[in-house]
Amino acid sequence: MDDLDQRLLQVLQEDASLSYAQLAERVHSSAPTCMRRVQRLKAEGWISREVAILDRDKIGHALGWGLHAMVEVGLEQQSAQCLDEFERAACASAVVQQCWRTTAGPDFILVLHVADMPAYQAWASAFLGENLQVRHVKTYFASKRAKFGTALSWPRAAAS
């Protein structure tokens, strides 16, 4: 990965909908070069997917829902099998947006987006209450999102 690849990835993290001509202008290269580079970066797995990031406040307002929760989960046993089983189940749950396996504290931190408190309680009862391996649960409900980003920082960009 050279400097041009890094510049391409930085720009694409902010706006992956740019045309190759627009991308070339921003990274000071040619459109064909950018196209080849981006295709290679995708093939090599540097770019895992492209998505649309929705405005959660607008959607929540339009649909009348929007409760975010961060859930700490500790399991009874920390065997590889137990951790893997819980992780698979958490990742399969539609309301779980993020699943982090952690150390020196809870075994997992889950980030959820549910309609409202009754929806959270139904999920918690079904998912956590029926899982006999769950030893500890602590839930935090978001009152305000001060920052949300998806871009990874780059060392040379941090100085600017």
**Which tens digits make up the pLDDT trace of 21-73?**
999 999 999 999 999 999 999 999 999 999 998 888 888 888 877 889 999 99
End-to-end CA distance of the chain: 21
Residue 156: which pLDDT band, with cuts at 50, 70 and 90?
Answer: low
Q: The domain 56-141 is classified under which CATH number: 3.40.50.720, 3.30.70.920, 1.10.1740.10, 3.40.630.30?
A: 3.30.70.920
Edge-first strand listing for the sheet containing 108-114 = 96-101, 108-114, 67-75, 134-141
What is residue 159's predicted lDDT score, i.e. its pLDDT?
39
Domain positions in the chain: 3-52, 56-141
CA distance 90 to 70: 13
What residues does 158 pair with on adjacent strands? none
Give the type of residue at 50. Answer: E
Residue 64 token pair = 């009348």
- Give the residue from 108, 137, 140 showing the smallest Cα distance to 124: 137
Using left for φ > 0, alpha for ψ between -120 and 50, and beta otherwise, residue 68 falls in beta
- What percent of the chain lies above the pLDDT cut of 70? 97
**Which tens digits make up the pLDDT trace of 94-147?**
999 999 999 988 999 999 999 899 999 999 999 998 877 999 999 999 988 888
Residue 160: which pLDDT band, with cuts at 50, 70 and 90?
Answer: very low
Q: The domain 3-52 is classified under which CATH number: 1.10.760.10, 1.10.10.10, 3.40.50.1860, 3.20.20.70?
A: 1.10.10.10
> Any idea what the Cα angle at residue 80 is, between residues 76 and 86, rounded to 5°?
60
